[in-house]
Structure 1
Amino acid sequence: MGAQNHAAWANRTGCLSHSGAASWECKAATKAKLVMSSHSGALKPLQFPKTSSSSSLSRITTIQPQFSSQQWKTSKRTFLRCSHETSVQVGSDVVVDDVNDSLKRMRELVDIAGGKSEGVDDASLTRFLVGFSMDVEVAAKAFAKHQEWEAFIKPRGFISETEIPNELNAKKSYLQGRDKQGRPISVILARNHFNNKDVDEFRRFIVYSMDKILASSSTDGKLNVIIDLKGLGLKNLDSKAFIEGFDIYQSHYPERIEKFYMVNAPFIFNGLWKVVSPFISEITRKKIEFVSNKKVEEVLLTVIDANQLPVEYGGKAELVLLQDAVVPGWPPVIL
């Protein structure tokens, strides 16, 4: 697929990575006045249907959630969010009422945008509503694009381990028990990540990881992620992989991550983060917590019991590779 074709797809789907000519720029980077140079190891796009574009340079348009106080009545209160609730919390203390009306309108807009709302449960749509700041129109378009993207990246309905051999062999992802709220715990060892020129496989790996971990069930459909940056070196500094990963999290799995705990960050990571952070939405940024080396055990033990927390972080559990973790019902049976 050429740069022109992928540019057209990117504008339709919000995909973040692409291969271009000498340089590439995206909406988030423009806002931050950041232009990243392309290199010989640029990520290749998924093989989507061919489209046309008049531009030789790809410009990425990602959906940036915006909350309009004029569109919604808000109030400050505390409530338990359930699938049958008629209001949803945005941020820590803002509550948007009349969610049922919003969901009804969102279903209409999803269908108009080319998606399919029939058969989609309210919980899935609500996650997109919250993830895109309760903007019904933006959330509906994002959901329709998600459905299109999902159909291409996992046409069989799930990613099998045979499709991601290199990523699994790197031994960088672990499924580690549950936190005190019953949410699954994912541990990612960044030092075991190396630039995979097959970006399709990397994307499939992210989807496989999220789907398998979420299949292990959760009290509220969320998980906690520990990203261990210990031992990170130049060979692991893959800014495009970080950007791609966070884009998949926020564009296709909104409100699935309760918290990202970034631990053991070396000084070298500062430069990488300056490149990556402009591409992360404000809603996602609020879920990211950098934990100082001296407080890793203290912070993690406040949310995870010692018998569930790996020894490496002050707990008593052993790390369990994601591919070795036994999850009932995984892989799923697709009829």
Structure 2
Amino acid sequence: MVLVTEDMIRQFQSMMEQIDEPLKRTFQNVHQGNPTETLVRFLKARDGNVAKAYKMLMDCLNWRITSEIDSILAKPIIPRDLYRGLRDSNLIGMSGYSKEGLPVIAIGVGLSTFDQASVHYYVQSHIQLNEYRDRVILPAASKKYGRHISTCIKVLDMTGLKLSALNHIKLMTVISTIDDLNYPEKTETYFIVNAPYIFSACWKVVRPLLQERTRKKVQVLSGNGKDELLKIMDYASLPHFCKREGSGSSKYSRNGTVDNCFSLDHSFHQQLYNYTIEQARLLERNVPIKQGSFHVDFPEPDPEDAKIAKTIESEFQKLGNQNGVCNSFRNVRINAD
């Protein structure tokens, strides 16, 4: 893993001092009072190459300006039933904090259907979650735990995973690319739980192709991962799909929506959604909130990632033929944000 030196940081800082004022303003929303730590993230994402890290950050800041990312938290998805549909079909939420204060983000990979709205709504919702995490959740965690916290933990539930899930690969690739290029190094560890055979077979192909820093972040746990996860978080912060015994849906829990961090009725999503409504009212006083998706520019995947994806496609084609199952894979990538 790359060692970021003081010389790298100073060189990067000197380059950032020369940027235009609009870029400086949006950079403030990115670093949230911690510019040095942000520069380190981008340096890590480009293996310590200052010139490449600078270009990456400039591309990110220009994307934010062009796509008006700074105001995306004032663009609520309405009506509320539409947002509920997004939550029911894109299973993601926050279940609590680790013992070190890192937010625990739960993702229901296997049972997400992405079939309730256009791609633009799913992308808008995903970016809003990223921005709310970076602008609200992480600063609050830093204050509560008395130290700078800039990363989260992700627990990925593979319950129900089928090869046909890759019908959603276009959307998954868009979201993954946005995270890779604009929110690098935001995840401390990925924990994989409830992994069926299909994941294990695919993981053997994917793992050697990942960059070392990404491989080190991924841990595949046995079963629902409860015993291992309890070493780093309290029971209350476990995602609901890690609390149940045996197999079952990651969508629901015995306690209904109270414990289901994917649901709009969960406190995290209630707070996030209400936050966007309030920000919209502050931004546009006495103006009705309009319905409509928030379109952003979709960046092109990194050439190296495209090369990796082509290799994965070929290997997955072989796997599909061997198992007599769907073999229409087009592109797969592990998000290394």
Q: TM-score when scaled to structure 1?
A: 0.60
**Whole-Å separation in 1 of the counterparts to 2:221 and 2:174:** 23
Match of 1:254 in 2: 184
Whether the 8 Å contact between 2:226 and 2:238 is mirrored in structure 1 is no
Determine the C-alpha separation between the residues in 2 that align with 1:234 and 1:132: 32
Select the structure that is richer in strand. 1
Q: Percent identity?
A: 22
Structure 1 residue 199 and structure 2 residue 114: aligned?
A: no
Contact 2:111/2:159 (8 A) holds in 1: no
Cα 1:210–1:255, aligned 2, differ >3 Å: closer, same or farther? same
Q: Unmatched 5+ residue regions in structure 1?
A: 1-89
CA distance 1:264–1:153, change in 2 (3 Å)? farther
1:318, distance to aligned residue in structure 2 (A): 2.3
1:319 aligns with 2:260: yes
Q: Could you say which structure has the greater relative contact order, defined with CA pairs below 8 angstroms and 6 or more residues apart?
A: 2
Amino acid at match of 2:125: F
SS at structure 2 position matched to 1:116 = helix
Residue in 2 aligned with 1:116? 23
Contact 2:86 2:122 in 1 (8 A): yes
Contact 2:159 2:196 in 1 (8 A): yes
Using a 3 Å threshold, how does the CA distance of structure 1 residues 249 and 188 change in structure 2: closer, same or farther?
same
Aligned counterpart, 2:87: 168
Contact 1:185 1:226 in 2 (8 A): yes
1:115 Cα deviation (Å)?
8.0
Looking at secondary structure, tell me which structure has more helix per residue: 2
Please give the TM-score of this superposition, normalised by the length of structure 2.
0.59
**CA distance in 1 between partners of 2:151 and 2:263 (Å):** 17
Tell me if 1:266 matches 2:266: no
8 Å CA contact 2:9, 2:39 repeated in 1: no
Q: Residue 195 of structure 2 aligns to a residue in which SS?
A: coil
- Looking at structure 1, the residues matched to 209 and 173 of structure 2 have their Cα atoms a distance apart, in angstroms, of 7
Match of residue 152 from structure 2? 223
2:238 paired residue among 309, 312, 315: 309
**Which of 51, 57, 64 is equivalent to 1:137?**
51
**Tell me, what secondary structure is at the counterpart of 1:293?**
coil
Structure 2 partner of 1:297: 226
Question: Which residue in 1 is equivalent to 2:169?
Answer: 239
The alpha-carbon distance between structure 1 residues 156 and 256, as it changes in their structure 2 partners (threshold 3 A), is: closer
- Displacement after TM superposition at 1:110 (Å): 5.8
| Distance apart, 1:260 and its partner CA | 1.2
Partners of 2:271 and 2:230 in 1: CA distance: 24
Aligned residues: 241
Q: 1:208-247 deviations in whole A, cap 9, x for unaligned?
A: 2222233222331111111101112344233344433332
Q: Who is 2:275 aligned against?
A: 330
Q: Distance in 1 between the 2:123 and 2:10 partners?
A: 34
Distance 1:195 1:130 in 2: 32
Distance of 1:146 and 1:270 partners within structure 2: 34
Residues of 1 paired with 2:173 and 2:242: CA distance?
26
Q: Does 1:185 align with 2:126?
A: no
Supply the distance in 2 between the matched residues of 1:277 and 1:151 (Cα, whole angstroms): 35
SS of 1:262 mapped into structure 2: strand
C-alpha distance in structure 1 between counterparts of 2:68 and 2:110, whole Å: 27
Distance in 1 of aligned mates of 2:119 and 2:206: 17
Question: Are 1:104 and 2:13 counterparts?
Answer: yes
Q: Could you tell me how far apart the structure 1 residues matched to 2:211 and 2:119 are?
A: 22
Matched, 1:149 2:68: no
Deviations 1:103-157 (A, max 9, x none): 323416766xx98246645133332122222211111111111122223444562
The 3 A distance-change label for structure 1 pair 299 and 309 is same
Q: Check the 8 A contact 2:42/2:184 in 1, yes or no.
A: yes
| Inter-partner Cα distance in structure 2 for 1:140 and 1:180 | 34
- Counterpart-to-counterpart distance in 2, 1:134 and 1:124: 13
In structure 2, the CA distance between the partners of 1:277 and 1:308, relative to structure 1 (3 Å rule), is same
Aligned residues of 1:105 and 1:136 also touching (Cα < 8 A)? no
